[in-house]
Amino acid sequence: MCTAHKAYFLKKLLDWKEAIVEESRATMAQLQVDSLREPDLADRASSETDWGIELRTRDRQRKLIAKIEAAIRRLYAGEYGYCEVTGEPISLGRLEARPIATMTLEAQERHERIEKVSRDD
């Protein structure tokens, strides 16, 4: 991976992380402003359900931030873009689609097949 590719993916990862953090800030601000004290029980239940979904989404994004930070560390260590299983380069197309990818498409498919077989047992 050349220097231009590394710079491109670093910017992409940092921008992605910042967008997630900004969305989280907006959610927290909205939670502080909005009150779940709806006068109607049905409206209150609906609001609580909506906020529950929103908070679960933010929790998934919190986990995604950890993966983004790990990808940034791999980038600085010179390990970014290489499969953690085979050591082969991960295609630029795969990294463009999934910048936090740690395996080549083939290794990922193999991993998912093995995981599926394990769950079926």
Write down how long the chain is: 121
Domains assigned to the chain: 1-80 (1.20.120.910), 82-121 (no CATH)
**pLDDT tens digits, 3-47:** 999 999 999 999 999 999 998 888 777 776 665 566 777 777 777
The tally of CA atoms less than 13 A away on the side-chain side of residue 13 is 26
CA 34 to chain CA mean position, Å: 27
Report, as an integer, the average pLDDT of 72-89. 95
Q: Residue 106 pLDDT more than 90?
A: yes
Q: What is the pLDDT of residue 86?
A: 93
Q: What is the pLDDT of residue 40?
A: 75
Q: Residue 99 pLDDT more than 60?
A: yes
CB 13 within 8 A of CB 101: no
Q: What is the pLDDT of residue 120?
A: 65
Encode 12-45: b = buried (16+ Cβ within 10 Å), e = exposed.
Answer: ebeebbeebeeeeeebeeeeeeeeeeeeeeeeee
